[in-house]
Amino acid sequence: MKYPTITAFLAVVLLFAGCSAPGTHERRGTEIGAVSGAILGGIIGHQSGETAAGAALGAAVGGTAGAAIGAAQDREEDRRYERGAMRAEPKTDEFGYTFQEYVDLMTDEEMEILQARADARPSVPLSNLLTDQEKANLRLRAEGNREIGR
């Protein structure tokens, strides 16, 4: 009887993992809340002999709570941008790259991902949606395209 429990758990987690827009606090909160809730619900449900039901209920409650918390974080971050508390990136960053130079290094697929983030948070400048790690990877890509000796 282990397989129905695992199947129910995975179905609930997958359901909540795809509930919100990519790259937002809401999505991350939903994922973390659903997984945490399923684990805790499974443990509590196991004590009463209803592991699958406990995991499903825990995932639902945890996912909903995580989504609500994440959505509140998204709204607060958007308000901070609107008030100017968070500024748009300077013309060039500390590495001497402009946002346009980063865009020029991106593949079509990477641009689609960035656009999906922008669609989810229309009030946030596009240049602020590119992570530091993504910028570092793009700089490495640019270094790889340089000729030897330059």
pTM over 0.85: no
- The pLDDT confidence band at residue 109, using thresholds 50, 70 and 90, is very high
**Domain interval for residue 138:** 87-150
Q: Are residues 111 and 81 in the same domain?
A: no
pLDDT, tens digit, 9 for 90 and up, residues 111-150? 999 889 888 888 878 788 888 899 999 999 988 876 555 4
Q: Of 46, 62, 86, which closes a domain?
A: 86
Q: Are residues 78 and 7 in the same domain?
A: yes
Q: Is the pLDDT confidence value at 5 over 80?
A: no
pLDDT, tens digit, 9 for 90 and up, residues 42-53? 899 888 888 888
Q: Are residues 82 and 94 in the same domain?
A: no
Q: Are residues 24 and 62 in the same domain?
A: yes
Domain total for the chain? Answer: 2
Q: Do 40 and 55 contact (CB within 8 A), yes or no? A: no
Q: Of 31, 54, 86, which closes a domain?
A: 86
Q: What is the DSSP letter of 121?
A: -
Q: Are residues 105 and 67 in the same domain?
A: no
Q: Of 46, 63, 86, which closes a domain?
A: 86
Supply the pLDDT for residue 75. 80
Q: Do 30 and 19 contact (CB within 8 A), yes or no? A: yes
Query: What is the sign, positive or negative, of the torsion defined by CA atoms of 100, 132, 118, 90?
Result: negative
